[in-house]
Amino acid sequence: MISDYFDFLKKVANKNPDVVKFRLIKEFIGVNKGFIRFALEMRDGTELHIFEYVDSGLHKIDYSYHWQNKEKKLIKRWDNATHHKEIETFPHHLHKGEDIMSSAEPTFVDILKKIGDRINKK
């Protein structure tokens, strides 16, 4: 099941018209848990770094979707690190520049859509 999910993530990334390069960094699939880390170069030169650590029920234990510009500066990062307890949606939150905001737990597909919408507005 974890293997199928990771294959799905890779397929979605590779078929997205806004993605010009896919780079798998690390993948581990165990009996009860697995993680995947990969990076995408987007057609506008920005990069999206993806990390998901899931259990056998495909619940995200830990995740980060880090979007950065050509100069490697953060545009946005969605994650569930437990360092912002003041956020209403704790542990889920969004870094937008220096600002920390509430955010529902996104999916990789949601993130690609948001980034694609912004790229295609330019």
Q: What is the pTM of this model?
A: 0.93
103-112: per-residue pLDDT in tens? 999 999 999 9
CA distance 117 to 121: 6
Are residues 54 and 35 in contact, defined by beta-carbon separation less than 8 angstroms? yes
- Nearest Cα neighbor of 89 from 75, 74, 106, 76 is 106
How does residue 36 score in pLDDT terms, banded at 50, 70 and 90? Answer: very high
Are residues 38 and 50 in contact, defined by beta-carbon separation less than 8 angstroms? yes
43-74: per-residue pLDDT in tens? 999 999 999 999 999 999 999 999 999 999 99
